[in-house]
Structure 1
Amino acid sequence: MEKVVILGTGPAGLTAAVYLARANMNPLVIEGPEPGGQLTLTPEVENFPGFPEGIMGPELMDNMRKQAERFGAQFKRGWVTDVNVANRPFKLSVDGLGEIVTESLVISTGASAKLLEIPGEKENIGKGVSTCATCDGFFFRGKKVIIVGGGDSAMEEANFLTKFASEVQVVHRRKELRASKIMQDRAKSNEKVTWALNKTPVEMVSDDLKITGLKVRDNETGEEETIETNGIFVAIGHNPNTAFLKGKLDMDEKGYILVEPGTTNTNIPGVFACGDVQDQKYRQAITAAGTGCMAAMDTERFLEGEAVHDWSQTL
């Protein structure tokens, strides 16, 4: 039986692993299909404290993992298909690993990219449609690409893509962008970035081999046009990776895990949630790491018998 199992290896899960390993809790960390989380898709992290010149996202995640391993955290690859948290010890069903029994559980499974859900999208992923500029930007050197979205992620990816593409056109369904001012200013000052605002994507067009265009509808006139492009990058947000927990823990209508304010306690004593899986407001690497620290400390106190009450009964 494990003392504590951590699900996920983003900044939240890895920070929790560092703290719990240093506390001699011997955490078992289960890696899903995207080890390192969203930061492995981030070209350069400029706002994580301690790196005045910035650091590549994959490098930051690799450093965190090595730090956790140094103190004794164990890592195993698997896909959690079911959990039983009705009674302690908790039981996890993990593809590739079988059943794992644990006294406590830290959930840091993060969130995954949303898709537009329009014709021509899913069937062209890998044929010119991508949700990862860092992964696929290199393949569009000297070509025209489109980024769909209006938030910070879209602006960051638009700027990154200009390192390779000859033109990056931002398509957004609203007149105004949702991105922070600094991110908007960076994109707007980049001469390779062009804009198609107040236009709704309705279809991704291909020649059966590769993407050739994005059909959009003007929200004022209702007229449709096809913007020619060699690639389309979708950056419209994320969904929390909590489908396997449905009905097991309290969540909001979007699937984000609810925690006791100021803690990482879920409604099940001994189960803790940290990172983007419970945060739809800040969603930053540093806030995820902070909640990972909190989850580790909450877990340690729980296992030591200092926090065994059901907080949901007192709210």
Structure 2
Amino acid sequence: MYDVIIVGGGVAGLTAGIYAKRAGMNALLFEQMFPGGQIATTYMVENYPGFIEPISGPDLAMKLEEHARKFNLDIMYDQVMNLNIDGKIKKVITNKGEYEAKTLILAMGAQPKMLGLDKEQKFRGRGVSYCATCDAMFYKGQDVAVVGGGDTALTDAIYLAQYANRVYLIHRRDEFRASQILQDRVMKNDKIHVIWNSNVESILGEEKVTGIRIRNKINNDMEDIELQGMFVAIGIQPNNELIIDKVKTTDSGFAIVNENMETDIPGVFVAGDLRQKPLWQIITAASDGAIAAMAAQRYIIEKFEEGLSGN
């Protein structure tokens, strides 16, 4: 039986693993796909303390994994299918087996929200994308659109402008939510054309994206824009399939935890983008992971053994 099992190999999960191993805990981390979570698909990270020069998301993800492995964190690439968290001993069921732990740190993260348009899912990978760093090269010399107004949307637009002929940045409001430095870069980039107060009404094309139809929210005018790619950057939704109806969540599905990352289930902690918080950033994910690991250790020392003797 492990002291702690961590589900999710993003920033929060890997940081939790580092802190758990440094504390002498027997820890196992499960990751379904690749380490790093969302940062593995991020073009450039400029705001992580200590990295004076920008570092690419994939490079930072690789460094995090290397750091965790330096402390001999046991990382297993397998899909977690179910969790049994009701008892004192927690159980994690994967494709390959069942594992037991005294505590769980859940760090499954989040994924991009969809617009909910008719052809959005059909054209995913055929003109519709949620990852500019993954797909920008496919649109070299072509016209694309980015939908959104936050940091991710503006970062995507700036990145795509290095490859595309023109980038339409479509935002439903008349001002951005993004940081000022990103706004300044967008406004100075001749390749980026900002379209304010507008929503994408439909995706045009039969076999792939050939354009989009947008509606101006002020005058309801419709406009068709010919382009070859649309990148959606309108926020995130939690990867909460494993915790629905098991821990307390917000109406949006994000886990509700206290300052120690504790859920309403003793011995179960949530860190990173899966939890409700005011800022979803790399630095807050790392902080969450560290706090969760220390809280898990404290739980084992103060409550786990006591709870077993009381059964």
Alignment of structure 1 residues 43-58 onto 2, 5 Å: 43-58=43-58
Question: Structure 1 segments of 4 or more deviating over 3 A?
Answer: 306-310
Secondary structure of the residue aligned to 1:291 is helix
Q: SS state of the match for residue 65, structure 1?
A: helix
Where do residues 51-200 of structure 1 align in structure 2 (5 Å cutoff)? 51-94=51-94, 96-200=95-199
Q: Percent identity?
A: 38
Tell me how far apart the structure 2 counterparts of residues 308 and 281 of structure 1 sit (CA, whole Å).
35
- TM, length-normalised to structure 1: 0.94
Q: Are the counterparts in 2 of residues 162 and 192 from structure 1 also a CA contact under 8 Å?
A: yes
C-alpha deviation, 1:98, in angstroms: 2.3
* Contact 2:35-2:62 at 8 Å conserved across structures: no
Greater mean deviation of Cα atoms: 106-115 or 78-87:
78-87
Letter in 2 for 1:259: V
- Cα contact 2:103–2:296 (8 A) shared by 1: yes
**Unpaired segments ≥5 residues, structure 1:** 311-315
Over residues 189-234 of structure 1, what are the superposed CA-to-partner deviations in whole Å (9 max), with x where a residue is unaligned? 11111011111111111231x2110111121222222111110000
Alignment deviations for residues 163-198 of structure 1 (CA, whole Å, 9 cap, x no partner): 111111101122222222222111111111101111
Alpha-carbon distance in 1 for matches of 2:277, 2:217: 28
Letter in 2 for 1:269: P
Asked if the contact 1:249–1:257 (Cα under 8 Å) also holds between the matched residues in 2, the reply is yes
**Which structure 2 residue ranges, 5 or more long, are not aligned?**
none
Q: Is the 8 A contact 1:270 1:308 kept in 2?
A: no
Change (3 A) 1:193 1:308: farther
The residue type paired with residue 31 of structure 1 is E
Residues 36, 64 of structure 2: 8 Å contact kept: no
Q: Quick check: 1:107–1:271 contact (8 Å CA) kept in 2? A: yes
Whichever residue aligns with residue 48 of structure 1, its letter is: Y
CA drift at 1:81: 2.3
2-structure distance, mates of 1:230, 1:185: 26
2:245 partner SS: coil
8 A contact 2:267–2:296 mirrored in 1: yes
Aligned length: 307
Q: What do residues 281-309 of structure 1 show as CA deviations (whole Å, max 9, x unaligned)?
A: 21110111011110111011111126899
Deviations 1:248-299 (CA, angstroms, capped at 9, x unpaired): 0011111111111x21111111111111111442111011101111011101
Partners of 2:263 and 2:183 in 1: CA distance = 36
State which of 287, 290, 295 in structure 2 corresponds to 1:293.
290
Give the whole-Å Cα distance in 2 for the aligned partners of 1:236 and 1:280. 17
Q: Indicate which of 295, 301, 306 corresponds to 1:304.
A: 301
Per-residue Cα deviation, 1:118-151 (whole angstroms, up to 9, x for no partner): 1111100110110000000011111111000011
Q: Is residue 156–residue 183 contact of structure 1 (8 Å, CA) maintained in 2?
A: yes
- What CA distance in whole angstroms lies between the structure 2 residues aligned with 1:309 and 1:190? 62
1:158 positional shift: 0.5
Q: Secondary structure at the match of 2:296?
A: helix
Q: 1:218 to 1:67 in 2, by over 3 A?
A: same
Deviation at 1:34, TM superposition (A): 4.9
* 1:37 to partner: Cα distance: 0.6
Matches within 5 A, 1:191-210: 191-208=190-207, 210=208
Q: Is the 1:301–1:307 contact (alpha carbons within 8 Å) kept by the matching residues of 2?
A: no
Aligned-residue RMSD, C-alpha: 1.6
What is the rounded CA distance, in whole Å, between the counterparts of 2:121 and 2:183 in structure 1? Answer: 29
In 1, the alpha carbon distance for the partners of 2:72 and 2:214 equals 52
TM-score, length of structure 2 as denominator length: 0.95
Letter in 2 for 1:286: I
Cα deviation, residue 23, structure 1: 1.8
SS at match of 2:55: coil
1:24-65 CA distance string (max 9 Å, x none): 213110002353111011111111111111211111111111
Whether contact under 8 Å (2:117, 2:203) holds in the other structure is yes
